[in-house]
């Protein structure tokens, strides 16, 4: 079986079994690559040790940072991806190394433009002059999987033309094969109780990487992402020019803006970096909890602050989709963290696959409280995913936590966005953006699923949880933009509907449970919302809701009356 046969059998998709069969009969290729990787890292580690022995760590730190960047670049796309992920983590990587790794995002050595132009013409089956009135002679950016040219179509639109690196698939395939082989051997010895799931994580990464090098798939992802954010005034997604797009060439709208790490340039155009962070965090939560379709590679080279205040996403090669039940369970988990309901949180971990269904969660609950108990109020520099991972790694020696393969990309995405927030503002409190968003979603959501989730939050063991409603309203109001009146309107509409009859009985019981009137709790809630619920506003809402239900009642009764006639 030759390489072309493997590609045809794979149908351009990642297939770990087919790849393993291919290299089983060509072990010299795998060993040659493995020896090269080991040798490169051994030289780097020995260089660090030599500096330590010679007491020259400080003197040579910039030299070693450059050496690491060059090492990852020489090892190719897979290792460049690792470096890109590390470049967003100032809490893990020293500044001298960080400054070099950032260059891996879009400052990689380009391949020959003559070859790039030939790929464009071959893929699009027409000459450069037929397609573009202008096209930069050299790439404006070079990334791990391709490079970008700036051009202009004959119709006048300014475009970015993304061209894939040649011979990319064989390089990625061999590295993924070695990673999977290493995962099988090393998995049982690693902490975090990954076990056999480590190979599943490699497979998930391989699947997404193969999707990323299919530019037609990326173009579809971009359009789906754009449709999800079509009503969002602060998120920009570039247009796709399908006529000039193929498997290895992608033509899209040119985005004028600044990388999110260019804080000086962002401030010079009158923008506040912290506002951009808030847009990014909120948009990230929307992707996970509303749309279920999320950008799995949001490093600073793929996110831009535009002069008009919008944040633009580019590079939609690595995306993933969540099922509805997963989105709902993630909402539950976040609310349970807010309310410090660690027993329910442990049950969420079972539903999400971090714990098996037969796991006894009772001894795990106190451990979760230790790990997550101080989450609210900490800034991202003190409470981040590294902190959680370090603490969870201790728990995983005692409890059977595991990382579901589906969550590998989610964790990567969240960690990357957290790293961007750290780069822009060390003291940015990510929880102060995330928790209010979740609270507002629950309180203002119009879907049946969100109403059910809100009722699940407010009623526990048949009892109304007053403190949870207070927490949700208080947290939702923290940014000053939350108006409780639309929530009150939705609640009144729901109470008057057939679906809300059960809730009517539950609320009466809630006000009188434990053989007392809960006037104190009602008074606390009123103090929270009284500024929004002015009498005239309430009256207008009541009239609107009653009018609507009266109209619906007439519509429902009229056909029956006509039948009798």
Read off the pLDDT of residues 185-203 as tens digits, 9 standing for 90 and up. 776 666 544 444 678 778 8
Give yes or no for a contact between 393 and 371, defined as CB atoms under 8 angstroms apart: no
More confident residue, 238 or 296: 238
CB atoms within 10 A of CB 163: 26
Concerning whether 297 is annotated as a catalytic residue, the answer is yes
Per-residue b or e along 537-550, where b marks 16 or more CB atoms closer than 10 Å to that residue's CB: eeeebeeebeeeee
Nearest CA among 26, 34, 6 for reference residue 179: 34
What is the C-alpha R_g of the chain? Answer: 27
More confident residue, 556 or 195: 556
Is the pLDDT at 267 greater than 70? The verdict is yes
- Please list the residues that pair with 321 across neighbouring strands: 293
Q: Give me the long-range contacts of 135-143 (CB less than 8 A, separation at least 24).
A: 135/161, 137/113, 138/110, 138/113, 139/110, 139/113, 139/163, 141/106, 141/107, 141/301, 142/106, 142/107, 142/108, 142/109, 142/110, 142/111, 143/105, 143/106, 143/108, 143/301, 143/315
Alpha-carbon distances of 456 from 249, 350, 355, 449, 468, rounded to whole Å = 48, 17, 22, 10, 11
- CA-CA distance, 260 to 419, in Å (whole number)? 11
Q: Which residues contact 316 (CB under 8 A, 6 or more apart)?
A: 218, 219, 221, 222, 225, 295
What are φ and ψ of residue 252, in 5° steps? -145, 165
**Winning range, highest mean pLDDT, from 107-111, 313-317, 547-551:** 313-317
pLDDT tens-digit readout, 452-464: 666 666 666 666 6
| Residue 10 confidence class, pLDDT cut points 50, 70, 90 | very low
What are φ and ψ of residue 512, in 5° steps? -120, 5
pLDDT tens-digit readout, 341-394: 888 888 988 888 888 888 888 888 888 887 776 655 555 555 566 566 666 656
Alpha-carbon distances of 471 from 255, 499, 523, rounded to whole Å = 41, 25, 15
Packing angle, helices 406-424 and 273-286, rounded to 10:
170
Annotated active-site residue in 175, 214, 297, 348: 297
Residues shown for the chain: 565
pLDDT tens-digit readout, 403-441: 676 676 677 777 777 777 777 777 666 666 676 777 777
Range in 45-49, 225-229, 378-382, 415-419 the model is least confident about: 378-382
Is the pLDDT at 84 greater than 80? The verdict is no
Alpha-carbon distances of 132 from 152, 158, 242, 254, 497, rounded to whole Å = 6, 10, 14, 14, 59
Across the range 145-173, mean pLDDT stands at 94
Is the pLDDT at 538 greater than 70? The verdict is no
- CA-CA distance, 276 to 260, in Å (whole number)? 8
Q: Say what the pTM is.
A: 0.74
User: In what helix (H) or strand (E) does residue 319 lie, and over which residues does it extend?
Assistant: strand 319-321
What are φ and ψ of residue 280, in 5° steps? -65, -45
- CA-CA distance, 419 to 88, in Å (whole number)? 5
Range in 38-47, 135-144, 196-205, 235-244 the model is least confident about: 196-205
CA diameter of the chain:
103
- CA-CA distance, 507 to 550, in Å (whole number)? 23
- CA-CA distance, 539 to 542, in Å (whole number)? 5
Q: Which residues contact 312 (CB under 8 A, 6 or more apart)?
A: 235, 236, 237, 238, 255, 257, 303, 304, 305, 306
| Residue 79 confidence class, pLDDT cut points 50, 70, 90 | confident
Q: Which residues contact 383 (CB under 8 A, 6 or more apart)?
A: 374, 375, 431
Is the pLDDT at 114 greater than 80? The verdict is yes
Give yes or no for a contact between 409 and 208, defined as CB atoms under 8 angstroms apart: yes
Predicted pLDDT of residue 310: 95
Instruction: Cite the DSSP H helix spans in 396-534.
Output: 406-424, 431-444, 448-458, 466-476, 484-496, 501-512, 519-529
| Residue 564 confidence class, pLDDT cut points 50, 70, 90 | very low
């Amino acid at each position: 079986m030759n390489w072309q046969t493997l590609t045809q059998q794979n149908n351009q998709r990642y297939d770990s079994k087919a790849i393993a069969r291919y290299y089983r009969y060509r072990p010299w290729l795998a060993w040659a690559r493995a020896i090269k990787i080991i040798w490169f890292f051994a030289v780097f580690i020995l260089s660090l040790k030599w500096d330590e022995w010679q007491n020259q760590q400080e003197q040579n730190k910039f030299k070693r940072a450059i050496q690491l960047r060059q090492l990852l670049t020489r090892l190719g796309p897979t290792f460049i991806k690792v470096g890109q992920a590390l470049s967003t983590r100032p809490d893990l990587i020293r500044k001298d190394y960080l400054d070099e790794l950032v260059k891996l995002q879009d400052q990689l050595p380009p391949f020959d433009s003559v070859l790039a132009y030939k790929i464009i013409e071959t893929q699009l089956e027409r000459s450069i002059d037929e397609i573009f009135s202008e096209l930069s002679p050299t790439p404006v950016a070079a990334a791990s999987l391709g490079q970008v040219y700036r051009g202009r179509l004959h119709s006048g639109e300014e475009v970015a033309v993304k061209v894939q690196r040649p011979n990319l698939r064989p390089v990625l395939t061999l590295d993924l094969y070695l990673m999977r082989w290493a995962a099988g051997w090393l998995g049982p010895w690693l902490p975090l109780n990954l076990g056999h799931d480590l190979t599943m994580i490699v497979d998930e990464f391989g699947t997404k990487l193969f999707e990323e090098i299919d530019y037609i798939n990326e173009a579809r992802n971009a359009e789906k992402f754009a449709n999800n954010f079509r009503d969002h005034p602060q998120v920009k997604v570039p247009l796709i020019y399908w006529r000039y797009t193929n498997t290895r060439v992608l033509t899209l709208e040119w985005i004028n803006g600044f990388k999110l790490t260019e804080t000086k340039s962002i401030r010079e155009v009158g923008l506040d970096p912290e506002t951009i962070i808030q847009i990014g965090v909120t948009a990230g939560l929307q992707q996970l909890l509303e749309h279920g379709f999320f950008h799995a590679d949001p490093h600073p080279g793929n996110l831009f602050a535009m002069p008009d205040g919008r944040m633009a996403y580019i590079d939609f090669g690595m995306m993933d989709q969540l099922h509805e039940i997963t989105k709902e369970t993630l909402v539950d988990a976040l609310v349970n963290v807010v309310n410090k309901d660690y027993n329910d949180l442990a049950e969420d971990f079972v539903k999400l696959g971090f714990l098996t269904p037969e796991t006894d969660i009772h001894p795990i609950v106190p451990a979760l409280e230790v790990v997550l108990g101080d989450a609210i109020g900490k800034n991202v520099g003190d409470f981040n995913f590294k902190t959680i991972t370090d603490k969870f790694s201790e728990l995983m020696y005692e409890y059977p936590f595991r990382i579901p393969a589906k969550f590998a990309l989610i964790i990567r995405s969240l960690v990357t966005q957290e790293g961007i927030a750290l780069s822009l503002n060390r003291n940015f409190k990510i929880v102060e953006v995330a928790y209010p968003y979740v609270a507002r979603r629950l309180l203002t959501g119009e879907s049946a699923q969100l109403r059910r989730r809100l009722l699940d939050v407010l009623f526990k063991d048949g009892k109304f949880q007053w403190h949870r409603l207070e927490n949700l309203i208080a947290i939702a109001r923290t940014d000053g933009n939350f108006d409780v009146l639309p929530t009150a309107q939705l609640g009144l509409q729901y109470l008057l509907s057939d679906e809300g009859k059960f809730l009517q009985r539950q609320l009466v019981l809630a006000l009188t449970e434990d053989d007392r009137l809960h006037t104190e709790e009602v008074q606390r809630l009123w103090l929270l919302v009284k500024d929004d619920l002015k009498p005239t506003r309430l009256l207008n809402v009541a009239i609107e809701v009653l009018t609507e239900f009266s109209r619906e009642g007439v519509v429902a009764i009229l056909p029956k009356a006509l039948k009798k006639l």
